[in-house]
Amino acid sequence: MTDRHSELPATPMARQIIARRSLLDAAKAAPVSLKVAGSIVLLGLLLVNALIGFIVVDGQLDGEWYDFRDLGYAMERLRIELDEVNLGPWLSYWVTGLIGGLGILSFIGGFLLIGSWIERRLLARFQVRMGPNRVGPFGLLQPIADALKLMQKEVLIPMGADRLLFFLPPVLVFVPAMLAWGPIPWAPGMSYLDINVGLLFVVSITSLSVLAIWMAGWSSNNHYALLGAMRTVAMMVSYEIPISLSLIVVVLITGSLNLGEIVAWQTDHNVWLAVLLPFSLFTFFFSSTAEINRTPNDIAEAESEIVAGFHTEYSGMKAGLFLAVELGNALFVGALVATFFLGGYGLFGLEQWIPPYVILAAKASFGYFVFIWLRSTLPRFRIDQLMTFAWKYLIPLSIANVLVVAVETSIAARWEVEAIFIYGSFAVVNVILTVIAVRTWARVAGYSSSFERPEPPRVAPMIGGLKAARRIKAGA
């Protein structure tokens, strides 16, 4: 080996890779002491910030309109001020409603822009490649470039398509995806639709999109789209039931359909429902992957089978709307999981000085991260396996879960000991029951030999044709 070769890698591609070392690699190469010191400084800053917030802010700002931790107070104050202008009662509601709606829409819109970049970069990291890194710093402007491209593209309407039904779905699928954000509580008083049937509202609004998807699949005059739409409808209708059953359990424990009160219950009892109801969390999360077409249940858009499913024939910004809704739904499910099972905007008292909506956004983003993680890890189910899973496994177990929790709530109402003792014991019982139920039910209902640990290939002791194959098989 010559010196030239020991310095430079031998191929042009390897040289290019070395030449384009990223910032992350530079950070990785830093000495360990520097990393430790940096982490200590960061942690210290966080702690000091928290202490200052606790000393300065604690209790003094509660309910004031300039309390930025809960923008609901500011809106309430604005509404009262507008009422005093005497231009009619409609003004105050319209103005505050518009501002609140714009707030939610801009949050989701911002996420739709950054979300696709996050997903692509993270997927790339999981898949040992770089991801988009050419447009803007770290490829941050890539989503904008994509959106511009989509807008410039021609919107094709396939021959023989039902023009009206083909036009409507991208709009119809977008509206419920935005509406469903209404009842999510961002802070104690900060909820766009503070209605006492918030949970029912969420479940009913989210199931509207199945109509739009069916319309899209039917009107496209394309067999891939039709197959995708049929799969989606079957899947969504089946998985509505486990979702509803798992949410009924939440209602049983907290005693309210109002999302704000569900979160308040968790904050009051200092417990996350994820600990109390592990099976409901699992059911909800898994069923949601079927509802919003994420891996391992993305069979409605199974790329390797039916190209893009129901939106195969859509082009330009119409396809973009479908993709945006998919992205937004993933974050929405993250927000729902956070609200129902992970304590919503609460973080064991930390919400006193961190704005609660930041906590909720962080938890929802964590849910989104889990979706990306699953997408980069798992293969896809087949449609019949998925339906079997819903009807044979999830639904019977969910009904049993409802029964168990109903008994527990009635015990909790009658038993006069400390709440922490009651719920602590329930948590232990539920976790144990979940593990036992999942394991035994998998053995009882439809346990198939294909789930057994398959044997690796064997070494051929001889070489030959059919006779040798038969002898090897008989000998084994």
Where do contacts with another protein occur on this chain (CB under 8 A)? 1-2, 5, 10-14, 123, 126-129, 223-224, 227, 295-296, 298-299, 302-307, 375-385, 450-451, 453-466, 468-470, 472-473, 476
Q: How far is the CB of 260 from another protein (least distance, A)?
A: 37
Q: How far is the CB of 199 from another protein (least distance, A)?
A: 31
Q: Which is nearer to another protein, 69 or 375 (CB)?
A: 375
Q: Which is nearer to another protein, 416 or 455 (CB)?
A: 455
**Cα dist from 375 to 8, 111, 120, 123, 457, whole Å:** 37, 19, 11, 8, 29
Q: Which is nearer to another protein, 9 or 349 (CB)?
A: 9
Q: How far is the CB of 223 from another protein (least distance, A)?
A: 5
Q: How far is the CB of 440 from another protein (least distance, A)?
A: 17
Per DSSP, what are the bridge partners of residue 185?
Answer: 191
Q: How far is the CB of 436 from another protein (least distance, A)?
A: 19
Phi-psi category of 275—alpha, beta or left, where left has phi over 0 and alpha has psi -120 to 50? Answer: alpha
419 in Cβ contact with 408 (< 8 Å): no
The CA-CA-CA angle for residues 277, 279, 283, to 5°, reads 120
Q: Which is nearer to another protein, 206 or 238 (CB)?
A: 238
Q: For the residues of 116-168, what is the DSSP string, one character each? A: HHHHHHHHHHHTTS--S-SSSGGGTTHHHHHHHHHHHS-----TT--HHHHHS
Q: Which is nearer to another protein, 153 or 380 (CB)?
A: 380
Separation CA 119–CA 142 (nearest Å)? 12
Neighbours of 389 (CB within 10 A): 20
**Cα dist from 240 to 121, 211, 233, 432, 453, whole Å:** 32, 14, 11, 26, 32
Q: Which is nearer to another protein, 5 or 443 (CB)?
A: 5
Q: How far is the CB of 116 from another protein (least distance, A)?
A: 15
Q: How far is the CB of 333 from another protein (least distance, A)?
A: 19
Q: Which is nearer to another protein, 214 or 224 (CB)?
A: 224
Separation CA 312–CA 338 (nearest Å)? 33
301 in Cβ contact with 308 (< 8 Å): yes
Neighbours of 267 (CB within 10 A): 19
Q: Which is nearer to another protein, 18 or 403 (CB)?
A: 18
Q: How far is the CB of 323 from another protein (least distance, A)?
A: 15
Beta strands in 272-409 (DSSP E): none
Q: Which is nearer to another protein, 417 or 476 (CB)?
A: 476
Q: How far is the CB of 303 from another protein (least distance, A)?
A: 5
Neighbours of 197 (CB within 10 A): 14
Give the pair of three-digit tokens for residue 138: 């770290």
Q: Which is nearer to another protein, 76 or 305 (CB)?
A: 305
User: Tokens 């739904």 identify what position?
Assistant: 329
Separation CA 80–CA 219 (nearest Å)? 49
The closest alpha carbon to 422, from 408, 436, 433, 402, belongs to 408
Q: Which is nearer to another protein, 63 or 446 (CB)?
A: 446
Give the pair of three-digit tokens for residue 8: 């430079």
Q: How far is the CB of 469 from another protein (least distance, A)?
A: 4
347 in Cβ contact with 203 (< 8 Å): no
The closest alpha carbon to 186, from 349, 354, 355, 52, belongs to 355
Separation CA 226–CA 311 (nearest Å)? 10
What torsion do the CA atoms of 57, 58, 64, 69 make, to the nearest 10 degrees? 70
- For the chain, how big is the Rg over CA atoms in Å? 27
φ/ψ of 191, rounded to 5, equals -140, 130
Report the SS3 class of residue 344. coil
Q: Which is nearer to another protein, 418 or 455 (CB)?
A: 455
Q: How far is the CB of 115 from another protein (least distance, A)?
A: 17
**Cα dist from 54 to 43, 57, 63, 351, whole Å:** 16, 6, 16, 10
Q: How far is the CB of 472 from another protein (least distance, A)?
A: 6
